[in-house]
């Protein structure tokens, strides 16, 4: 018997895999059920080190499949949800907004409805924690202001519009049905196991291979970067100590102009390759800007610090070094992702080929 049965959705993805690892190792008294569809972004190789833990279960499934979610809640007696499953890449949302609306909006709704059906009348000790993004707040000017929990939603991309919609559904389930929900909005994460379509792992891989580094527009857009393990720690803290029906912003107070960040990456990778400083600068290539590219994001996470005592623990320069070193030391992981071989891991591990 486990003390709690926690459903983590999207646990085979980048952030989800760090959250699963942290919970499996830190809470042997909990059963951790990792539900993931294994889209292109889901990779069970991210979780090799915990896959045989006695308190860990992997289930392949789609959050949009309401009947399946209902069965899952009942089979495992789920009493807590940490919901990360989503389509997460802005460029993909520009090409294919429907998939984002389906997974991020309808998928979240189907999960909420399954939780409501199973929990209604007995919400004590239940929690539905939804992981969202700072992108729902829109864009800031270069004026020193920050997104706070009071900032009005103003999403610009299909991705952020879908996440904003899912946030509203989560809050509506609290306000309408009394479901104990929490929403957090986090800034850009970086670190091990990030899919190499996102800026940092894509550029580390390209520098290593001597390929161009496609900087969108003038490279002047600003993002606020947080080491992924700090985000996972915040999720753990908020899941256990956060106030129901509340919202917390999570961020690093760590703003970087894209081009400055790219220069740090170039310097760090060149150093590790033993090349003279500046060798790979020639790879920087300015390309057409992302449509609707938000100028600046910056999160004010002081509420989380003041109320729950969370602060980022990894300094950015060190975090980037650790990240670059990780991608160098885990070339097989990267090769498998780039070649697509990672998609065979589920079949080899579980002897099945589909959901
Ligand atoms: P990711 O793309 O790396 O992983 C997403 C995971 O969700 C994958 O494992 C994928 O297989 C799974 N998934 C997708 N559709 C599914 C479906 N229909 N049913 C079940 N599983 C499905 O994403 P990430 O970067 O780890 O982000 C995780 C969450 O955190 C997302 O909700 C994202 O919006 C949010 N977030 C991300 C960042 C960031 O910087 N990456 C920052 C703030 C918030
Ligand atoms: O802010 C939180 C968000 O951060 C999350 O909600 C998203 O899931 C996550 O993908 C991330 O979104 P971004 O669009 O900010 O991340 P990305 O790594 O795609 O891009 C970071 C910045 O770098 C952005 O300003 C666009 C730019 N960029 C990105 C790529 C992939 C480039 O200039 N060139 C590139 O090739």
- pLDDT tens-digit series, residues 165-222: 999 999 999 999 999 999 999 999 999 999 999 999 999 999 999 999 999 999 999 9
Please say if 56 is a catalytic residue. Answer: no
| Span 85-93, average pLDDT | 98
Ligand with the closest atom to the CA of 250: 1
| pLDDT given at position 347 | 83
Residue 352 exposed, middle or buried by CB count within 10 Å (0-12, 13-18, 19+): exposed
Asked if pLDDT for residue 40 goes beyond 70, the answer is: yes
| pLDDT given at position 349 | 83
From the CB of 12, is ligand 1 less than 6 Å away?
Answer: yes
16: CA distance to ligand 1 center in Å?
Answer: 7
Ligand 1 atom showing the smallest separation from residue 63 Cα: 19
Asked if pLDDT for residue 355 goes beyond 50, the answer is: no
121: CA distance to ligand 1 center in Å?
Answer: 30
Asked if pLDDT for residue 354 goes beyond 50, the answer is: no
Contact 216, 222 (CB under 8 A): no
Q: Comparing C-alpha atoms, which of 188, 181, 171 is closest to residue 133? A: 188
Question: Partners of 17 in the beta sheet?
Answer: none
| Span 213-239, average pLDDT | 98
Contact 51, 349 (CB under 8 A): yes
From the CB of 224, is ligand 1 less than 6 Å away?
Answer: no
308: CA distance to ligand 2 center in Å?
Answer: 28
From the CB of 162, is ligand 2 less than 6 Å away?
Answer: no
| pLDDT given at position 352 | 62
Provide the terminal-to-terminal Cα distance of the chain, rounded to the nearest Å: 27
| pLDDT given at position 346 | 87
The dihedral formed by the CA atoms of 76, 179, 123 and 57, expressed in degrees to the nearest 10? 20
Ligand 1 atom showing the smallest separation from residue 195 Cα: 3
| Span 44-68, average pLDDT | 98
């Amino acid at each position: 018997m486990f003390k709690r049965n926690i459903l983590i959705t999207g646990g085979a993805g980048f952030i989800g895999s760090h959250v699963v690892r942290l919970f499996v190792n830190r809470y042997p008294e909990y059963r951790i059920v990792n539900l993931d569809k294994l889209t292109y972004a889901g990779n069970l190789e991210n979780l090799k080190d915990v896959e045989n833990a006695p308190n860990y279960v992997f289930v392949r499934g789609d959050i949009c499949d309401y009947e399946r979610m209902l069965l899952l809640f009942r089979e495992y007696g789920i009493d807590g949800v940490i919901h990360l499953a989503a389509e997460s890449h802005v460029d993909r949302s520009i090409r294919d907004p429907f998939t984002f609306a389906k997974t991020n909006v309808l998928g979240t709704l189907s999960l909420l409805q399954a939780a409501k059906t199973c929990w209604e009348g007995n919400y004590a000790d239940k929690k539905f924690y939804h992981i969202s993004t700072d992108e729902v707040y829109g864009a800031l000017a270069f004026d020193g202001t920050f997104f706070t929990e009071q900032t009005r939603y103003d999403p610009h991309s299909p991705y952020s519009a879908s996440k904003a919609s899912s946030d509203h559904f989560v809050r509506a389930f609290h306000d309408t049905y009394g479901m104990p929900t929490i929403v957090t909005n986090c800034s850009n994460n970086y670190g091990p196991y990030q899919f190499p379509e996102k800026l940092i792992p894509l550029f580390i891989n390209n520098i290593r291979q001597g390929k161009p580094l496609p900087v969108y527009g003038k490279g002047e857009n600003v993002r606020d970067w947080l080491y992924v393990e700090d985000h996972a720690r915040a999720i753990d803290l908020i899941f256990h100590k956060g106030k129901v029906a509340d919202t917390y912003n999570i961020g690093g107070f760590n703003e970087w102009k894209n081009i400055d960040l790219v220069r740090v990456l170039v310097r760090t990778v060149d150093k590790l390759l033993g090349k003279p400083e500046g060798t790979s600068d020639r790879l920087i290539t300015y390309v057409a800007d992302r449509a609707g590219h938000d100028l600046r994001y910056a999160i004010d996470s002081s509420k989380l610090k003041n109320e729950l005592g969370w602060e980022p623990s990894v300094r950015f320069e060190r975090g980037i070094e650790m990240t670059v070193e990780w991608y160098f030391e885990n070339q097989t992981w990267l090769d498998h992702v780039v070649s697509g071989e990672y998609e065979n891991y589920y079949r080899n591990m579980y002897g099945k080929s589909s959901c």
